[in-house]
Amino acid sequence: MLNTIKTIKEKKLFLLRMNEVINTLKKENIELKKLNAIELFGGTGKTDSIISNHFKSFEIWEIDDEVKDELNKNIGNAKIVFCDSIKRLESTEKLSKFDFIILDNPMSVFGERNCEHFDIIKNIGKLIDDEAILVFLVNKKPFFYNKLRTKNELWKKRRKEFYGDVDITNLSTEFLMNFYKELFLNIDYDTIFSKSISRHKPHLDYFLFKIKKKVKIKKLIQNQIDWISLFPLLTRKID
């Protein structure tokens, strides 16, 4: 009975952590009501039900259509799309753009090989126009159940492939912040601000990143050329 009560309290705590995400963004003077938001791992929508009303619009992608009734019950004001989020991002070029993107991804490996947010974040730019706020779940210190030995070995392998030659069982916040800043740079986005919010110590954190499309060097050079060509005209004395 005590374990059941503890589990219920922890689940409520997980939901409340998303409120902390919202409050953090408000402190950054982010006007949420102007933003179009999407959740790429919708589940039953319980977490999203806490925050969906803060935004101009809210869309949910979810792979399991068996949760349709529960999703509609928990978050009736959202547009719900049943699809494989990872495959949809990989195979579709023209998609709607969003200002706020949530990846409240499951842990471990799901499907044949897909793992955490690793297979989706590299294509996240397909959902962004110029800039966006990303909120994604990171497992800093995973615990591996012995009864899932085979699945856990694949999970460990995928984490190693993604994070590199580090101790993937105990990742520091500092390492992760730098890792994701570099990841976003590699897909042509600068980080405007970033923050981590604990969801379940010491294991899970929500990572918040506001990213903006990098200005292409070619475009900067063209702008400089334009100004140089205009300089004689701008500095010419009028008789």
Q: What is the pLDDT of residues 170-209, one digit of tens each?
A: 999 999 999 999 999 999 999 999 999 988 788 889 999 9
Burial class (CB in 10 A: 0-12, 13-18, 19+), 14: middle
Question: What was the pLDDT predicted at 17?
Answer: 79
Which helix (H) or strand (E) element contains residue 174? helix 173-186
Task: Tell me the pLDDT of the chain averaged across its residues.
Answer: 84
Tell me the C-alpha distance between 49 and 30, whole Å.
20
Taking residues 92-100, report their average pLDDT: 94
Encoding tokens for residue 105? 């991804």
Taking residues 8-12, report their average pLDDT: 47
Could you report the per-residue pLDDT of 119-141, keeping only the tens digit for each? 999 999 999 999 999 999 999 99
What are the structural domains, with CATH classification, of the chain? Answer: 2-235 (3.40.50.150)
Higher local confidence (pLDDT), 149 or 40: 40
State pTM to two decimals: 0.82
Higher local confidence (pLDDT), 47 or 89: 89
Tell me the C-alpha distance between 105 and 39, whole Å.
9
Taking residues 161-170, report their average pLDDT: 94
